[in-house]
Structure 1
Amino acid sequence: MSCHATADSVREEKQGNMALQIIDRDLVRKLLPMETCIRLMETAMLQTASGTTCQPPRWIIDLPAGEGKCFGLMPGAMADPEIFGAKLTAVYPQNGARGFQSHQGTIVLFEAEIGAPVAVVHGGEVTAIRTAAASGLATRLLANAEAGDLAILGCGEQAREHLVAMSCVRELHRVRLWGRDVERAHAFALANASRSPVPIEVCTSVEQAVRDADLICTVSAAAEPILESVHVADGAHLNVVGSSVAQAAEIGAELVRRARFFVDYRPSALLQAGEFLAAKAAGLVDDSHILAEVGEVLGGSHPGRQSDEEVTIYKSLGISSEDLVCAHYLLQAAQAGNLGSRIDF
């Protein structure tokens, strides 16, 4: 079912009014398993790389409350499926320690025939799943085929989702976890034991966690680097996820310089990828250091990893096409299963 069909069917029900589908957090979790979301990320990344989307870089304002809190708008439009919309999101980095999602917001999806809104989707839950799914796709494309020694730096929501995503794309034989709060890290390991194919080892230092690891996911709220090049083994692949503004960086500039550097969307990375911008400001790299978007590797226009020994980095910022394809899929799935709630609008 397309969004066009949705608009037609709704007009037949009540002329002049549109039905707005409400897809809450629990329904997102039910309908969007990680394997499915990784496939949706293929669509988002391929269309992004092909130039058939309209995705201005995120608009962000810092909130007066400080502590890294900000509010962002991510509008976008896609050609296939023919949809457009926007995510409104508030980012509160300290929420994880309080038991809340760090990203709070909604995705509003519009159909293309008459321009009507057709769905409001829980943005925080979609963001949690699709961010890790994008890392899963990047890992599938860029990590060594035998990679399976995973280090996760951070113990919040994205740590959980990345554990699931990495398990989908590689056979894990070791999982190590580091977090600033050791008690919280142990609690994470206990709560997520069923999501890991092997016991989760809690480490007391970043160096211990990443030693000889060939998969590293940085999913912390760090504003300053927690991981340096000297600690990363040759051949490793990194998903650098936790920092999402130009002023923050989870990894050191020398590690950026050393690695082959890939992104979700080049225009956004040039403006907001804090690790890349810090390395550029230090004179270690220039704009050409961003080798390709993940969609270019997926589509075959860039080779990606070229040797077992090189270090690869996927810098994640998140793009609106990822949210839109998820919202569209969720709308179709909810309608097919007669799930969620609908209101005249």
Structure 2
Amino acid sequence: MTRDDLTIFDSAGVRAGLSYPDCIRVVRDAMQALSAGTTRQLLRTMLPLGPGRTFAQMPGALGEQDMFGTKTISVFADPQSGQRRHRGVVVLFEPSEGRPVVIADAEEITHIRTAAATAVATDALARTDATTLLIVGTGGQAHTHLHALPLVRRFDRVLIWGRSPAKADALVAAFPHLPCERASDLAAATRDADVVCTLTAAAEPLIHGDWVQPGTHVNLVGSSGPGPVEVDSALVAKSRYIPDSTASARDAAAEFLVARDAGLVTDDHIVAEIGEVLLGRVSGRTRETDITVYKSLGHAVQDLAAAAHLYRSSLRA
């Protein structure tokens, strides 16, 4: 929808204009640009509004002569289901006159670009012969990750684990074209998996380090700030730990902060940003038996790049 010079993408518009293959490409470029220093962003500011309620802003610029803007969101937990909603907008400005040109639904962009970023990291860090995927969680991110991850690896087996067996069964039924099955035993499923994705609002560890086998790649996605952790410190300590942003990880990566505070790791345990791996500056996986961990916190340039792709695609159309 266009009003004068301002283009608005509601959730349906974002879904229609931001395909998973395109978003994977856009996010890969954004991750490399961040680590190369050609984009700029500040650490997000988070304003607590009470238990389970946060207001956050994430400003950034895609380059000195490129678009800039911010993602402004509320993150509210549903006390009934425990699920969290990221509601808000991404606002983009053009670089020549500083005019706002885009307002886009932030929740839908977040859903798609987060899964796309996980797919990029999985492609870079998982073994090439990875065939078993474990999805931990049954919410919106579980759905988007099941769209994105099969684009970078061919999985012969997809295990779905959730606290609610009914929700896990519903997720399995929603993807009949994938070899999905519900996992009733999380420890056994973790031991079987080549790639693990944690996509929950868990406050305490669900995955323990001694469950994770050599050669496994783990994506930590659910916790986006200090406090809630999805895996224990043993897993962090035994892994090659690679976040989307080193600065963000040192500030807000809960699992890393807990392990650091316990004296199990130092800041040097962060191997590199995923963008540095993509640029070929650092090896993500050095041998087949490495346990690699990608920590997804999300950063502004991912959202801005996705919104810019939407805008430029609409202009071409």
Question: Normalising to structure 1: TM-score of the pair?
Answer: 0.88
Q: Does 1:52 align with 2:38?
A: yes
**What CA deviation, in whole Å up to 9, does each residue of 1:58-86 have, x standing for no partner?**
1112222x1x2211100001217701000
CA contact (8 A) 1:155 1:185 kept: yes
How far off its partner does 1:208 sit?
2.8
Which residue is equivalent to 2:12? Answer: 26
Q: Does 1:223 align with 2:211?
A: no
Q: Structure 1: which amino acid aligns with 2:17?
A: L
How far off its partner does 1:191 sit?
2.0
How far off its partner does 1:91 sit?
1.3
How far off its partner does 1:192 sit?
2.7
Query: Separation in 2 of the partners of 1:329 and 1:96?
Result: 36
Which residue is equivalent to 1:310? Answer: 290
Aligned residue among 146, 150, 164 for 2:129: 146
Over the matched positions of the two proteins, sequence identity in percent amounts to: 40
Structure 2: which 5+ runs fail to align? Answer: none
CA contact (8 A) 1:149 1:172 kept: yes
Cα RMSD (Å): 1.8
Which residue is equivalent to 2:55? Answer: 71
Aligned residue among 240, 244, 253 for 1:273: 253
Q: Does 1:232 align with 2:212?
A: yes
Q: Does 1:188 align with 2:171?
A: yes
Which residue is equivalent to 1:103? Answer: 86
Query: Separation in 2 of the partners of 1:96 and 1:126?
Result: 25
Aligned residue among 21, 31, 48 for 1:62: 48
Structure 1: which 5+ runs fail to align? Answer: 1-9, 11-16, 338-345
Report matched runs for 1:118-197 at 5 Å: 118-194=101-177, 196=178
Which residue is equivalent to 1:115? Answer: 98
How far off its partner does 1:93 sit?
3.5
Query: Separation in 2 of the partners of 1:171 and 1:92?
Result: 35
> 1:90/1:255 Cα in 2 relative to 1: closer, same or farther (>3 Å)?
same
How far off its partner does 1:18 sit?
5.7
Q: Does 1:38 align with 2:38?
A: no
Q: How many residues align?
A: 316
Which residue is equivalent to 1:333? Answer: 313
Query: Separation in 1 of the partners of 2:258 and 2:76?
Result: 23
Which residue is equivalent to 2:181? Answer: 201
**What CA deviation, in whole Å up to 9, does each residue of 1:241-300 have, x standing for no partner?**
000011111010010000000011111110000000000011000000011011101111
Query: Separation in 1 of the partners of 2:77 and 2:231?
Result: 17
CA contact (8 A) 2:24 2:113 kept: yes
CA contact (8 A) 1:96 1:157 kept: no
CA contact (8 A) 2:78 2:84 kept: no
How far off its partner does 1:141 sit?
0.5
Aligned residue among 69, 72, 91 for 1:85: 69
Residue 211 of structure 1: SS of its match in structure 2?
A: helix
Query: Separation in 1 of the partners of 2:22 and 2:37?
Result: 23
Query: Separation in 2 of the partners of 1:145 and 1:312?
Result: 13
Q: Does 1:249 align with 2:229?
A: yes
**What CA deviation, in whole Å up to 9, does each residue of 1:199-249 have, x standing for no partner?**
x11122321321221100000111111100111111000110000011111
> 1:44/1:189 Cα in 2 relative to 1: closer, same or farther (>3 Å)?
same
CA contact (8 A) 2:6 2:101 kept: yes
Residue 192 of structure 2: SS of its match in structure 1?
A: coil
> 1:312/1:84 Cα in 2 relative to 1: closer, same or farther (>3 Å)?
same
CA contact (8 A) 2:88 2:105 kept: yes
Q: Structure 1: which amino acid aligns with 2:76?
A: Y
CA contact (8 A) 1:185 1:202 kept: yes
Query: Separation in 1 of the partners of 2:234 and 2:173?
Result: 35
